[in-house]
Amino acid sequence: MPSVLAIFAHPDDIEFRASGTLLLLKDLGWEVHYWNLSNGNLGSAQMSLSETARVRRLESKAAAKQLGAKWHPPISSDLQIFYTDSLIRKVCAIVRKVNPTVLLTHPPQDYMEDHMNTCRLAVTGAFARGIPNFKSAPSRKPSLQPLTVYHSMPHGLVDPLRRPVEPDAFVDVSSVQPRKRELLACHGSQKHWLDLTQGSDSYLHALDHEAATLGKRSRKFRFAEAWTRHLHLGFGKESDDPLREALGKRYTPNRNLKSRL
CB 106 within 8 A of CB 149: no
* CA 192/CA 219 separation, integer angstroms: 34
In angstroms and rounded to an integer, the radius of gyration of the C-alpha atoms of the chain is: 17
What's residue 193's pLDDT?
A: 66
- Buried/exposed code over 169-204 (b: 16+ C-beta within 10 A; e: otherwise): bbbbbeebbebbbebbbbbebbeebbeeeeebeebe
Query: SS3 of 223, please?
Result: coil
Alpha-carbon distance of 18 to 204, in angstroms, equals 15
Cα–Cα dist 128/142, whole Å: 8
pLDDT of residue 67: 98
Cβ–Cβ < 8 Å for 36, 74: yes
pTM (2 d.p.): 0.95
Please tell me the predicted confidence (pLDDT) of residue 1. Answer: 87
- 3-253 CATH: 3.40.50.10320
**Angle in degrees, CA 123, 128, 134, rounded to 5:** 145
pLDDT for 46: 87
Virtual torsion, Cα 254, 255, 258, 260, nearest 10 deg: 40
Q: What pLDDT score does 261 carry?
A: 42
pLDDT score for 189: 86
Strands 102-105 and 31-36: unpaired
In total, the chain counts a number of residues equal to 261
In whole angstroms, give the CA distance from residue 143 to residue 132.
9
Instruction: Profile the chain (261 residues) by mean pLDDT over runs of 10 residues.
Output: 97 97 98 98 91 96 98 98 98 98 98 98 98 98 96 96 97 98 90 65 81 97 98 97 98 81 42
Burial class from Cβ neighbours inside 10 Å (0-12, 13-18, 19+) for residue 52 reads: buried
Instruction: For residue 100, give Cα distances in angstroms to 44, 145, 147, 235, 259.
Output: 33, 8, 7, 11, 28
Q: In what order do the strands lie in the sheet with 169-172?
A: 70-72, 31-36, 3-8, 102-105, 148-151, 224-229, 169-172, 251-253
Is the sign of the CA dihedral 50, 13, 122, 242 positive or negative? positive
| Domain edges within the chain | 3-253
Contact by Cβ (8 Å): 157, 213? yes
How much is the pLDDT for 202? Answer: 65
The predicted structure's pLDDT at residue 204: 81
Q: What is d(CA 43, CA 45) in angstroms, rounded to the nearest whole number?
A: 7
